[in-house]
């Protein structure tokens, strides 16, 4: 592993365990067994470090989504595989790190979220168009509108006021939301295919 990758992976691990605000650049250098001088050869400051972690995350996610699109047998299989991937990400997400991002690094977080939402919109639009061609989704859908509705409603799942984490589990929320989404757009044929894919259903996350 190259030292830059080691820095990004190590820093992200510390942020996920302890939150972002409490982890210093000294902590990161010490954890990685490198000097601060070496650390600053690859990142300008903590804000730049976070930005680079976002970029790395984006590349990894997009590569995974394209691989899912390549291997999926149909549109419903694809959306279930995507949901599984998102659930794994939610499991690894630190709520304290997410809070710190939104409070102390709001500009970077907002930019990342906007870019991510646009990518998810394009991903869902392609999935809906494919599903309609395959006869798995209803013929009367407008892929543009449904995809934007999906992206807009997804933000509600993470709304702390609507679904406080003390009362709701993120995995459970997302699982219910995905099944709600699929049942809302699937044709009769699609619902039968969904049943066929239940061995890879959201209830069976690796």
Write down the pLDDT at residue 205. Answer: 47
Answer yes or no: do 26 and 61 share one domain: no
Question: Which long-range contacts link 124-129 to residues 24+ away (Cβ below 8 Å)?
Answer: 124/150, 124/151, 126/69, 127/75, 127/78, 127/79, 127/82, 128/75, 128/185
Answer yes or no: do 62 and 31 share one domain: no
Write down the pLDDT at residue 203. Answer: 55
Answer yes or no: do 39 and 98 share one domain: no
Residue span of the structural domain in which 76 resides: 56-200
pLDDT tens, position by position, 48-84: 999 999 999 999 999 999 999 999 999 999 999 988 8
23, 15 contact by CB (below 8 A): yes
d(CA 175, CA 173): 6
CA-based radius of gyration for the chain: 19
Answer yes or no: do 136 and 176 share one domain: yes
Q: Give a yes or no: residue 50 inside a domain.
A: no
Answer yes or no: do 115 and 182 share one domain: yes
Q: How many domains does the chain have?
A: 2
Number of Cα atoms under 13 Å in the Cβ half of residue 12: 16
Answer yes or no: do 119 and 165 share one domain: yes
Which stretches of the chain score pLDDT less than 70?
A: 1, 158, 198-206
Number of Cα atoms under 13 Å in the Cβ half of residue 160: 6
Write down the pLDDT at residue 206. Answer: 44
Beta-carbon contacts of residue 12 (< 8 Å; ≥ 6 apart): 53
Answer yes or no: do 124 and 22 share one domain: no
**Whole-model pTM?**
0.85
- Give me 125's structure tokens: 């639009």
Burial 169-196 (b: 16+ CB within 10 A, else e): ebeebbbebbbebbeebbbeebeebbee
On average, the pLDDT of the chain sits at 90
Answer yes or no: do 8 and 76 share one domain: no
Sign of the CA dihedral 63, 173, 204, 99?
positive
Write down the pLDDT at residue 47. Answer: 95
Nearest to 136 by CA among 189, 180, 83, 184: 189
Q: Give a yes or no: residue 205 inside a domain.
A: no
| Domain of residue 105, CATH code | 1.10.357
54, 115 contact by CB (below 8 A): no
* DSSP notation for 145-160: HHHHHHHHHHHHHT-T
Write down the pLDDT at residue 42. Answer: 96
Write down the pLDDT at residue 200. Answer: 58
Q: Give a yes or no: residue 129 inside a domain.
A: yes
């Amino acid at each position: 592993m190259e030292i830059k990758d080691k820095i990004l992976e190590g820093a992200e691990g510390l942020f996920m365990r302890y939150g972002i605000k409490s982890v210093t650049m000294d902590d990161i250098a010490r954890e990685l067994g490198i000097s601060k001088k070496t650390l600053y050869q690859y990142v300008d400051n903590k804000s730049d470090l976070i930005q680079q972690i976002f970029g790395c995350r984006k590349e990894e996610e997009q590569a995974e989504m394209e691989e899912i699109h390549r291997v999926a047998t149909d549109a419903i299989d694809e959306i279930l595989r995507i949901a599984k991937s998102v659930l794994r990400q939610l499991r690894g997400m630190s709520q304290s790190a997410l809070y710190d991002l939104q409070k102390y690094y709001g500009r970077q977080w907002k930019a990342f979220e906007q870019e991510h939402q646009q990518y998810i919109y394009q991903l869902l639009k392609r999935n809906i168009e494919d599903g309609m061609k395959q006869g798995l989704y209803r013929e009367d859908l407008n892929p543009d509108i449904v995809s934007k509705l999906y992206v807009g409603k997804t933000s509600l799942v993470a709304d702390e006021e609507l679904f406080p984490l003390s009362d709701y589990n993120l995995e459970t929320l997302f699982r219910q939301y995905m099944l709600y989404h699929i049942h809302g757009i699937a044709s009769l044929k699609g619902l039968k295919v969904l049943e066929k894919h239940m061995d890879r259903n959201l209830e069976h996350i690796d």
